[in-house]
Amino acid sequence: MTLEREKIVPHLKVTGRTAWLYPCAGTVFSVKEVVEAFCHVLARNEQKIVEHNWVDTVPPFLEKPLFMSFEVKDSEGIPAERSGARSAYMKEKTMKLKGCRPKPGVEFPTWDLEFGVENAVTGKTGFGILSAENIMREILAFCFFEKYKIGILQNPLCVFEYAEGGYCLVLEKPKDERTEGNLNFFGLTIRDVIYIKFLEKKFGITVLEKDVTFEGIDQDWYAEQKSTILISMNFNGGFRGILNSNLGNDILYKDNLYICDFDTFKVVEIPENPSFEFLKYFSLWCFVELFKTSPPVWDYLDLEGIPREKAVKMLQKSFFENSSTGKCYKEQFFVEVEKRGWDKKLMEKALEAAAQTEVYYQILLDSVLNSEVLKKSYNPEMGIYALH
């Protein structure tokens, strides 16, 4: 799929934090109504998870759908903070409107990996809105986290259906600011990093720490917290999918770490005695999510002319030697394997097989700065990620 960045990027390049919410045509549904209408889009095992005693009500001031704009209209809008470029956050009411910026005719890229498949598939979805399935998967994640007693920082309240198409999910959420704003790159350019790593390796010195850290957050604490969340989620069958596993989807609230963004969340059933085939794809999903959600490591690898199998080993070595989260997760991963009585050697072979897949390699490439990624890079101004 050719990504038409020129059509998407102008809608993403918004400045400032302020946005305004205005009423528009459409319908407001309670969570109970939405679950009853769209539960069928989930797999059978997932449908059982969303069986919940939902309250069939909508907050009084949300009786009409709202949409987000960055312009002050003639009528007075409700002030809010933008969350990325497609969602809004009402800080005083501690509510997030996820997918409240419909732009008919504009599409956003998706990247999906099905369980049991080795290659991810690209697709498109409406810009600034959620689909019925996206809504249900956010609700599924809430129920899943509640079921397994994993901390979650959002609670579904109601859903807007816009007259021109698409949905918005309203969430109760005490904080929406992501930890991505605290990543400390020391103002270094890619050229700087490559030169520093060259000097380090030539003279056996250390200038940069092993991986990128967050200002004000202890690196070891973060790695432990993040790994514990992921292990609890993954080993109960929960996965956010490639794009929602983005490093930016972390929130620090009252000295606790939470993860967010679940509109592609899926739950697979975990067998008691898993086969090699299951373990291969299970470990693939686990480590793809790990790579996507871990801070990048301070390293540079020249992969020019290196065979794929050797390149994977080089990338793995650098990542697991330097990534605090990577090392912590992998250690907890095999502790959990032993707890469940799974065959450790079989799991190691399954992980080796997973590492040979195309998607494993492609995601791992983004974890360690390397020549392969730089060759395919584009002007940063054409990036399609907006800070939250």
Domain boundaries, position 73:
5-172
Specify if 128 maps to a domain: yes
Specify if 276 maps to a domain: yes
Last residue of a domain, one of 128, 148, 172: 172
pLDDT of residue 61: 87
Going by C-beta distance under 8 Å and a sequence separation of 6 or more, which residues neighbour residue 4?
none
Domain identity same for 28 and 162 = yes
Domain identity same for 159 and 36 = yes
Domain identity same for 98 and 127 = yes
Specify if 123 maps to a domain: yes
User: What are 223-274's pLDDT values in tens digits?
Assistant: 999 999 999 999 999 999 999 999 989 999 999 999 999 999 999 999 999 9
Specify if 11 maps to a domain: yes
User: What are 179-195's pLDDT values in tens digits?
Assistant: 988 999 999 998 999 99
Please give the tally of structural domains in the chain.
2
The amino acid that residue 193 corresponds to is V
Specify if 354 maps to a domain: yes
The whole-model pTM stands at: 0.92
User: What are 219-236's pLDDT values in tens digits?
Assistant: 999 999 999 999 999 999
| 298 neighbors 195 (Cβ within 8 angstroms) | no
Domain identity same for 206 and 355 = yes
Pairing mode, strands 18-23 and 266-267 = unpaired
Last residue of a domain, one of 172, 189, 212: 172
Domain identity same for 26 and 155 = yes
Element (H, E) at 203: helix 190-203
What DSSP letter does each residue of 26-80 carry, written as one string? EEEEEHHHHHHHHGGGS-HHHHHHT---------GGGSS-EEEESS--SSPPEEE
User: What are 12-63's pLDDT values in tens digits?
Assistant: 556 567 899 999 999 999 999 999 999 999 999 999 999 887 878 898 889 8
